[in-house]
Chains A and B, each alone.
Chain A
Amino acid sequence: MISVKNLYKSFGERVVLHDISTDFKVGESNLIIGMSGSGKTVLMKCLVGLFKPESGQVLFNERDMVSMNEQEQSSIRQDIGMVFQGSALFDSLTVQENVIFPLDMYTNMSLGEKIERANFCLQRVNLENVNNLYPSEISGGMKKRVAIARAIANNPKYLFCDEPNSGLDPRTAAVIDELISEITKEYNITTIINTHDMNSVLQIGDNVAFIYQGNLWWRGDKHSICETDNPELLEFLNASELTKRLIK
């Protein structure tokens, strides 16, 4: 489980996260939603240690990431898989080499075992016959799937996804959401997903946290979100015609 306690983050005078406290549960898809610029990505970057908060704690099974030294952070990061908004695949490596990369770094597997594992992960995300292609040779949806395969290659305990279905068509986006949800339950990992896609929320939102102007404004799940009377959240939900009709 990942717990956040009294997290503050600012850039200069501008406070981006204000006293955020929440838990992200194991084996469930934990969604962070909010408008663009509300602080979702900053929160996620604080969670994985890419940003250092001014104060507060980020607890990975009771171990505080913020106060750790670099070596301890590095050991926790070996248990983290992350899917970036733009996939962040390494351009100079093939699809297979991208998936093998974390195994190269942290395991003593033989090359055969690593290839076998990479093939397993690629099959798990429904990708075949792309092993020797470079990221520039595959589509956006395939890149996201390769990024997921790379993220799960080293059996992570924590999976972070920053807007995993942005820029994808609704069908591919739904496939990606479903895939993340399945992997979360199958491997019993803690998954945190940043999104402003309401389809994702209604499809896989086991736990949903709504961030508004840097504050944790609302908590619930995919069922309770449709019955909310929180005005800021309603304003966010009503921006989507589909959700608006659903709530009515």
Chain B
Amino acid sequence: MLKTIGQYFLFHKDVFSRPPRRKLFWRQVFAEIWRLGMDSVPIVILLSVFMGAALTIQLHFGTDGQWIPDYTIGFVARQTIILEFSPTVISLILAGKVGSRISSEIGTMRVTEQIDALEVMGINPANYLVLPKVIACMFFHPILIMLSIGFAIGGGYVVGVASGMMSAFQYIYGLQFYFNPFDLFYALFKTVVFAYLITTISAFYGYFTQGGALEVGRASTKSAVQSCIMIITVNLVITQLLLG
């Protein structure tokens, strides 16, 4: 356990060294944004719309007939979506989707000697393969989370208004009620940290895979599980530090 943690931190030294060719490096970063980021847009939108809609129905169910104004539904939906649902739950989903992709891609390159080939060419494989992925995800995941927030709130609006749970005015009033822009900063800050954890943990497990297809599968599962554990742990720490 301690050895793995030590190895993980030593791995950072190789990853965060200076790329030999800047032009090539940025080409890699844009390719990774496309591969890892754009590819996740449909699933993030789909999940967000349905989760936002379900959340609104649940809130209406919990407050219906009580001495609670209807705009509270919009207010609570906004807070839940911005503070927890979009940054944390979507990051957990991305840990599975993006994380396992990174881990299996790098793991396969390891067992088929492609990483050895890079090393023999005098290229630092950790830097060449991992750093563009880290930067791409740290840049694009906040965009995904902003999209998620927008579509989740939109999903709640459509369901809430279309089913007559509340008026459009009440929902929008609730969304605007006591809005603190710091909440958005908190959500995006968390997202960047989670993106860093997802990419480095997944890349680490892929990079040190030994064996064959079975081990690549194991590394992929392990990386997704470890990323999720780290996300929920770090989420608690960040929440206590910024909101506690």
Residues in chain A within 8 A of chain B (CB atoms): 45, 48-50, 73-78, 80, 82, 84-86, 88-91, 101-102, 104-106, 160
Contacts and interface: CB of A to CB of B under 8 A. Distances in A.
A105 B21 contact: yes
Report which residue of B24, B117, B123 has the largest number of chain A beta carbons within 10 angstroms of its beta carbon.
B117
B116 A77 contact: no
B39 interface: no
Nearest to B21: A105
Interface string B24-40: 10000000000000000
Given A104-B21, A105-B20, A90 B122 contact: no
A88 B112 contact: yes
Given A75-B122, A88-B112, A105-B123, A82 B117 contact: yes
Nearest to B35: A92
Contacts of A76: 122
Given A86-B112, A104-B21, A77 B117 contact: no
Nearest to B115: A88
Contact of B122 (A73, A84, A104): A73
9 contacts: A45-B116, A49-B120, A50-B116, A88-B112, A89-B114, A90-B114, A101-B121, A105-B20, A105-B21
Given A105-B21, A105-B24, A77 B122 contact: yes
Contacts of A104: 21, 24
Given A104-B24, A105-B24, A77 B120 contact: yes
Given A48-B120, A86-B113, 11 more contacts: A76-B122, A77-B120, A82-B120, A84-B113, A84-B116, A84-B117, A88-B113, A90-B109, A102-B121, A104-B24, A105-B121
Contacts of A73: 122
B64 interface: no
Interface in B110-148: 112-114, 116-117, 119-123
Nearest to B27: A104
B64 to A, nearest CB: 53
B17 to A, nearest CB: 9
A99 to B, nearest CB: 13
Nearest to B20: A105
A66 B117 CA distance: 19
Interface residues of B, number: 15
Interface of B: 20-21, 24, 108-109, 112-114, 116-117, 119-123
Contacts of A106: 122
A88 B121 contact: no
A43 to B, nearest CB: 15
Contacts of A86: 112-113
Contacts of B121: 77-78, 80, 101-102, 105
Given A105-B20, A105-B21, A74 B122 contact: yes
A42 B192 CA distance: 42
B122 A85 contact: no
A76 B122 CA distance: 8
A177 B54 CA distance: 66
Contact of A80 (B21, B108, B113, B120): B120
B8 to A, nearest CB: 20
A78 B117 contact: no
A88 B117 CA distance: 7
A147 to B, nearest CB: 9
Nearest to A76: B122
A104 B120 CA distance: 15
B115 to A, nearest CB: 9
A90 B108 CA distance: 11
Contacts of A75: 122
B122 A88 contact: no
A105 B25 CA distance: 10
Contacts of B122: 73-78, 80, 105-106
Nearest to A73: B122
Contacts of B116: 45, 50, 84, 88
Contacts of B123: 105
Given A88-B113, A88-B114, A91-B114, A50 B21 contact: no
A132 B20 CA distance: 27
Contacts of B109: 90-91
A50 B24 CA distance: 24
A113 to B, nearest CB: 16
